[in-house]
Chain A
Amino acid sequence: DTAVSQTPKYLVTQMGNDKSIKCEQNLGHDTMYWYKQDSKKFLKIMFSYNNKELIINETVPNRFSPKSPDKAHLNLHINSLELGDSAVYFCASSQAPRGWETQYFGPGTRLLVL
């Protein structure tokens, strides 16, 4: 009965590779988010989709490309991985992009770029 799930949980890869992280929510929410938590534990928004449409695109390198095939899924593809991409990536979802909606976080994907 996992609400927000992510795959894989761990990802170890070499610099220059391309990788994808998948996120699925079974809460019936319309809005999904990608956050990045760096080594200092600082959690920062990357992207947000509402009903499959991009509504937030923070200053993130072009190498990061989100895709939402339907409103229950939000994937993150990363091209040409760099050492600085090593972080924990959290997917989250909320009912709608409204100020009072709780965001529910997935378990995170721990990415290590060697």
Chain B
Amino acid sequence: QKEVEQNSGPLSVPEGAIASLNCTYSDRGSQSFFWYRQYSGKSPELIMSIYSNGDKEDGRFTAQLNKASQYVSLLIRDSQPSDSATYLCAVLTSNSGYALNFGKGTSLLVTP
């Protein structure tokens, strides 16, 4: 199966700082890219999607995609303790029947 790689962390940042989460993928046919947030004991919740190269901003979140480098990232500005969670990078390709291929997630801890 095509790989989606993330650093497992934990990534620790102080409150108010920028958290930077990274993801690489191996399938050049990947079309759509998603960031899900998962709190402990809860289900994944979509926070950002991105389909074309460049940046996409939504509030404190910015997703960045570089298809040539097969790299997608998520920046969280003004990090809050409530942002502490596991962030899952997910990639979707047409030859996967449109099922999401997830990375193993990066654990983020925002310290007050």
> Footprint of B on A, CB under 8 Å?
31, 33, 35, 40-45, 48, 55-56, 58, 90, 94, 97-108
Contacts and interface: CB of A to CB of B under 8 A. Distances in A.
Given A99-B94, A102-B49, A105-B45, A41 B99 contact: no
B3 to A, nearest CB: 12
A113 to B, nearest CB: 19
A51 to B, nearest CB: 13
A33 B92 CA distance: 14
A101 to B, nearest CB: 8
Interface of B: 31-32, 34, 38, 42-46, 49, 51, 86, 88, 92, 94, 96-102, 104-105
Contacts, number: 59
A58 B86 CA distance: 25
Contacts of B38: 41
B45 A100 contact: no
Given A33-B99, A44-B102, A99 B43 contact: no
Given A43-B44, A107-B42, A99 B92 contact: yes
A90 B44 contact: yes
B99 A56 contact: yes
* Most chain A CB neighbours (cut-off 10 Å) among B42, B94, B100, B104: B100
Contacts of B105: 41-43
B45 to A, nearest CB: 7
A45 B100 contact: yes
B97 A48 contact: yes
B102 A48 contact: no
A80 to B, nearest CB: 25
B86 A97 contact: no
